[in-house]
């Protein structure tokens, strides 16, 4: 949608649903470029310089959101922990826009949180050319009263077809715990072995991402007392030889 159509549509919506009183500072700024609640928006009646600026809004907005995502929330062990202002944004318009683009909306943190993996243990994006392990110590799996899950998405944000027809790993599944009570989860394109397949989430050959969900999270997940461990990339034999 072009900026012209976007703002014209927004102007019509504001005739029915007026802006909140706390929106007045941004409304005052928009009036300077011809956008005023209660009135239709006609870009053709604006100064050519302003029209040109409007044309670049979609691209610049995408750049701004992409730049902000890595610092939108606190990042711990390569995971973005969106536990603050989620679902209740006030005048934090940038965060509202990013959440809307990614998921149309979001629950309140007390209902659910969605840690997003940004990088492995060395700060590198995840890629199916490598093998990864996520290890939880005994009694340190994601703390949730309802359940937790980890879903894998490809570079396009889509789930990946695989022979197991498995698209996430979750607390309700018959996961295989280690003798000491710890839990290892595997993310890679090839099977980690029959004895580990219960904990394997098949990955594509290329780039992918992980999204964790905690429904009815416990307080330690909201306060930062608990955080996901880093996603560990398996060191290749070639890499060890080179070192």
The string of pLDDT tens digits covering residues 170-207 is 999 999 999 999 999 999 999 999 999 999 999 999 99
Count of alpha carbons within 13 angstroms of residue 78, beta-carbon side: 20
pLDDT digits (tens, 9 = 90+) for 214-241: 999 999 999 999 999 999 999 875 554 4
Residues 182, 135: contact at Cβ < 8 Å? yes
Residue 241: the pLDDT is 43
Give the lowest-confidence range in 7-11, 88-92, 159-163.
Answer: 88-92
Q: Return the biggest CA–CA distance within the chain.
A: 72
Mean pLDDT along residues 98-127: 90
What residues form DSSP beta bridges with 80?
Answer: 75, 116
Classified by CATH at the fold level, domain 75-234 comes out as Jelly Rolls (2.60.120)
Task: Give the E-state strand segments of the chain in sequence order.
Answer: 74-76, 79-81, 112-113, 116-117, 132-136, 144-154, 168-170, 183-188, 200-202, 208-217, 232-233
Distance of CA 81 to the CA centre of its chain: 9
Residue 137 has pLDDT above 80, yes or no: yes
- Domain ranges within the chain, ordered by starting residue: 3-55, 75-234
Roughly how many angstroms between the first and final C-alpha of the chain, as a whole number? 51
> pTM, whole model, 2 decimals?
0.79
| Separation between Cα atoms, residue 122 and residue 241, nearest integer Å | 19
Identify the DSSP state of 195. G
């Amino acid at each position: 949608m072009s900026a012209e159509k976007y703002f014209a549509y927004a102007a019509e919506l504001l005739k029915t649903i007026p802006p909140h009183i706390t929106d007045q500072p941004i409304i005052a700024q928009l009036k300077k470029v011809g956008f005023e609640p209660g009135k239709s928006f006609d870009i053709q009646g604006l100064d050519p310089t302003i029209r040109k600026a409007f044309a670049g809004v979609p691209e610049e907005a995408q750049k701004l959101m992409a730049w902000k995502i890595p610092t939108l929330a606190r990042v711990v062990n390569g995971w973005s922990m969106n536990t603050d202002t989620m679902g209740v944004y006030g005048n934090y318009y940038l965060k509202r826009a990013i959440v809307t683009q990614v998921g149309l909306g979001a629950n309140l943190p007390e209902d659910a949180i969605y840690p997003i993996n940004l990088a492995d243990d060395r700060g590198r994006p995840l890629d199916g050319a490598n093998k990864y392990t996520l290890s939880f110590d005994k009694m340190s799996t994601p703390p949730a009263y309802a359940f937790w899950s980890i879903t894998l998405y490809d570079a396009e944000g889509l789930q990946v077809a695989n022979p197991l027809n498995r698209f996430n790993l979750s607390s309700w599944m018959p996961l295989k715990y280690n003798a000491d009570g710890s839990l290892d989860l595997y993310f890679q394109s090839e099977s980690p072995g029959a004895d580990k397949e219960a904990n394997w989430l098949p990955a594509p050959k290329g780039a992918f991402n992980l999204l964790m969900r905690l429904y009815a999270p416990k307080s330690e997940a909201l306060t930062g007392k608990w955080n996901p461990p880093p996603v560990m990339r398996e060191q290749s034999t070639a890499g060890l030889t080179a070192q």
